[in-house]
């Protein structure tokens, strides 16, 4: 018998240093908006409103805390010394590119936090997580250790959850987590097909215009570590990567039986479909929904982020809900494609829009901001309750953000040593709110 399970969303709370410094080659929004002034307070409030929307629909929602930034440990490790303020000051003076990497609020994009395999698909019946090493970009490679700690606080029961360490820190195992993984199934608690989408092979000479961030070997390692069943490996479309789809979740989203994707998403679409069908076997009948380049050119896709939507099973609704970014509504072609999905007789019943513009300007849509974790009732009960989002936590976090976040941050402001103390005050208060203990952040452990 299939045990009932739900898909929980764990959203990354936007950190106080959210900024536009152009750190990600191949991420067109990040490159285009480099140098602009951000609004960290608006960013965190947008993220909280999105969480509220899902919680109000009756979906389990959790909050993942931001990381401590500036990352002074990085700057000390590369030779900057003195007091914390001096380290930051010297780094900005001598190596601004490194200093800006140390300030990034990128852990907010929780789809890159880890790859997750639910207990219905693992050999030992536990939920397995491998935090992503995010090796391709310096600012993101700083995340793995704290993300591991964070997941161990949220999923503390080792009898039910296995939070592995990130894969070895070598380009061979470059791993970007769940942004390149889709799970399809008849029902969340039923056996699933795990579709692992990779951009390059470890030994391959990649000559693309933009980096291919995920290796096939990284996902093979994750599959082994998790004892994951029913894996399918598919190569990401080279054209998609070169057109600005730096993760597969920019061109593809799936849930339950439904895989929605763009024509450019897979190098060999027919092989991917045949493999998914074969592995799904008699567990379920996959439904493939493709949007063509003629209907949505890659350029409109990347601007609108139609596929970076959350595809949700909402209690009480018989068809799926697509929660798309406001930019999809603003783009005539993407909007038409979204409306066509909802008015067809297919698996998607309606499309809703959400404003996450601050994140979008760094290339992170609704789907980037969340890590999906399928949990049985017993597993859900074994999570840290203080991180479970509800209207009371929403109120507390809104007030916390109003108190601690700036409403304007130019890249040059990141050099302000006052930011170090501001961020620490905010994070110290947050550890109390989210029940993370007094030793969660590096500054709390010295
Ligand atoms: O890794 N942007 C992130 C966006 C991640 C989106 N996640 C998913 N698609 N799942 C990235 O490129 C930009 C930071 C800057 O430029 O300051 C950045 O890191």
Residue-wise pLDDT tens digits, 270-312: 999 999 999 999 999 999 999 999 999 999 999 999 999 999 9
Probe ligand 1: pick from 27, 113, 139, max atoms within 8 Å of CB?
27
Q: How far away, in angstroms, is 318 Cα from ligand 1 center? A: 33
Burial of 138 by CB count in 10 Å (0-12 exposed, 13-18 middle, 19+ buried)?
middle
- Residue from 20, 35, 106 to probe ligand 1 pocket by mutation (most atoms less than 8 Å from CB): 106
| Dist CA 86 CA 102 (whole Å) | 14
How far is it, in rounded angstroms, from Cα 349 to Cα 330? 20
Q: Would you state the structure tokens that stand for residue 314, as one six-digit string?
A: 């909402």
Supply the pLDDT for residue 24.
Answer: 95
Which residue has 């009756």 as its token pair? 58
Taking the centre of ligand 1 as the mean of its atom positions, its distance from the CA of residue 414, in whole angstroms, is: 18
What amino acid positions are annotated as catalytic residues?
Answer: 176, 247, 368
The pLDDT > 90 percentage for the chain reads 99
The answer to whether residues 191 and 120 touch, using CB atoms and an 8 Å cutoff, is yes
Strands 287-291 and 258-262: parallel
Residue 1 has pLDDT above 60, yes or no: no
Cα 137 to middle of ligand 1, angstroms:
9
Q: C-alpha dihedral over 321, 241, 38, 48, to 10 degrees?
A: 20
- pLDDT reported for residue 446: 84
Q: What average pLDDT does the segment 332-340 reach? A: 98
Q: How far apart are the C-alpha atoms of 278 and 283, rounded to whole Å?
A: 10
Of 109, 113, 116, 133, best ligand 1 pocket probe by most atoms within 8 Å of the beta carbon: 109
Q: What fold does the segment set 5-69+104-445 form as a domain?
A: 3.75.10
Report the C-alpha gap between 355 and 327 in whole angstroms.
8
Ligand 1-lining residues (CB < 6 angstroms)? 20-24, 27, 30, 104, 106, 109, 111-112, 140, 179, 246-247, 249-250, 362-364, 368
3-state DSSP assignment of residue 292: coil
Atom of ligand 1 nearest to the CA of 368: 10
pLDDT score of 5 more than 90: yes
Average pLDDT, the chain: 97
- For residue 364, the ligand 1 atom closest to its alpha carbon is 6
Nearest CA among 78, 73, 311 for reference residue 184: 311
N-terminal to C-terminal alpha carbon distance within the chain: 50
Mean pLDDT computed over 69-94: 98
Q: What is the distance in A from the centroid of ligand 1 to the CA of 432?
A: 28
Q: Who contacts 278 (Cβ-Cβ below 8 Å, separation ≥6)?
A: none
Which residue's CA is the nearest one to ligand 1's atom 10?
A: 368
How far are the Cα atoms of 17, 158, 205, 335 from residue 62, in angstroms, in the given order? 21, 19, 40, 29
Q: What distance in Å separates the CA atoms of residue 397 and residue 387, rounded to the nearest whole number?
A: 11
> Of all atoms in ligand 1, which is nearest to the CA of residue 111?
10
Take atom 7 of ligand 1 and give the residue whose Cα is closest: 368
**151-162 pLDDT per residue, tens:** 999 999 999 999
pTM for the whole thing? 0.98
Q: Do 359 and 47 form a contact (C-beta atoms < 8 A)?
A: yes
- Provide the β-strand partners of residue 117: 128
Burial class (CB in 10 A: 0-12, 13-18, 19+), 292: exposed
Ligand 1, closest atom to CA 308?
Answer: 9
- Give the separation between CA 219 and CA 109, rounded to whole angstroms: 19
Q: pLDDT tier at 2 (50, 70, 90 boundaries)? A: low
**409 Cα: distance to centroid of ligand 1 (angstroms):** 18
**Structure confidence at residue 181 as a pLDDT band (50, 70, 90):** very high
Domain boundaries, the chain: 5-69+104-445
Cis check for the bond before 70: say yes or no (omega within 30 of 0). yes
State in Å: Cα 363 to ligand 1 middle. Answer: 5
What are the tens digits of pLDDT across the range 390-418? 999 999 999 999 999 999 999 999 999 99
Q: Which residues pair with 312 in a beta bridge?
A: 321
Nearest-CA residue for ligand 1 atom 6 is 364
Q: What is the pLDDT of residue 171?
A: 96
Q: How many residues does the chain have?
A: 446
Question: How many C-beta neighbours within 10 Å does residue 272 have?
Answer: 22
Structure-token match 């994707």, residue found: 261
pLDDT band at 326 (very low <50, low <70, confident <90, very high): very high
Read off the pLDDT of residues 90-135 as tens digits, 9 standing for 90 and up: 999 999 999 999 999 999 999 999 999 999 999 999 999 999 999 9
What is each CA distance from 434 to 8, 56, 395, 438, in whole angstroms? 17, 20, 13, 11
Q: Which two tokens stand for residue 184?
A: 């399809």
User: How far is Cα 130 from Cα 139, in angstroms, rounded to an integer?
Assistant: 19
């Amino acid at each position: 018998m299939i045990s009932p399970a739900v898909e929980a969303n764990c959203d990354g709370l936007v950190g106080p240093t959210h900024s536009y410094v152009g750190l990600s080659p191949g991420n067109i929004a990040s490159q285009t908006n480099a140098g602009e002034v951000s609004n960290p307070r608006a960013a965190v409030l947008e993220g909280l409103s999105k969480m509220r929307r899902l919680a109000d629909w009756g979906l389990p929602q959790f909050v993942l805390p931001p990381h401590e930034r500036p990352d002074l440990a990085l700057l000390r490790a590369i030779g900057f010394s003195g007091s914390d303020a001096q380290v930051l000051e010297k780094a900005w003076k001598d190596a601004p590119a490194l200093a800006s990497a140390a300030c990034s609020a990128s852990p907010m994009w929780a789809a890159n936090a880890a790859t997750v395999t639910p207990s219905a698909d693992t050999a030992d019946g536990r939920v397995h997580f491998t935090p992503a090493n995010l090796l391709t970009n310096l600012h993101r490679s700083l995340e793995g250790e704290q993300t591991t700690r964070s997941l161990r606080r949220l999923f503390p029961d080792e009898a039910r959850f296995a939070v592995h360490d990130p894969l070895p820190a070598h380009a061979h195992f470059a791993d970007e987590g769940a942004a390149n993984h889709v799970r399809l199934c008849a029902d969340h608690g039923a056996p699933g097909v795990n579709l692992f989408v990779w951009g390059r092979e470890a030994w391959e000479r990649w000559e693309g215009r933009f980096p291919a961030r995920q290796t096939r070997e990284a996902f093979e390692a994750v599959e082994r570590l998790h004892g994951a069943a029913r894996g399918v490996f598919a190569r990401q479309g080279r054209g998609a990567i070169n057109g600005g789809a730096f993760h597969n979740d920019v061109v593809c989203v799936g849930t339950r039986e439904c895989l929605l994707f763009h024509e450019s998403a897979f190098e060999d679409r027919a092989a991917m479909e045949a493999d998914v069908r074969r592995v799904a076997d008699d567990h379920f009948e996959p439904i493939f929904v493709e949007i063509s380049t003629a209907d949505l050119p890659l350029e409109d896709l990347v601007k609108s982020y139609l596929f970076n939507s959350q595809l949700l099973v909402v209690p009480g609704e018989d068809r799926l809900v697509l929660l798309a970014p406001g930019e999809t509504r603003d783009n005539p072609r993407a909007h038409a494609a979204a409306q066509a999905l909802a008015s067809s007789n297919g698996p998607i019943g309606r499309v809703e829009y959400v404003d996450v513009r601050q994140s979008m300007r760094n290339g992170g849509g609704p789907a980037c901001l969340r890590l999906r974790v399928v949990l049985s009732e017993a597993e859900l009960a074994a999570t840290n309750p203080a991180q479970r989002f509800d209207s009371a936590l929403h109120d507390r976090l809104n007030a916390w953000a109003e108190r601690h976040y700036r409403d304007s941050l130019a890249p040059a402001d990141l050099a302000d040593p006052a930011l170090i103390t501001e961020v620490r005050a905010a994070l110290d208060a947050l550890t109390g709110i989210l029940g993370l203990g007094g030793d969660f952040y590096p500054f709390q452990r010295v």
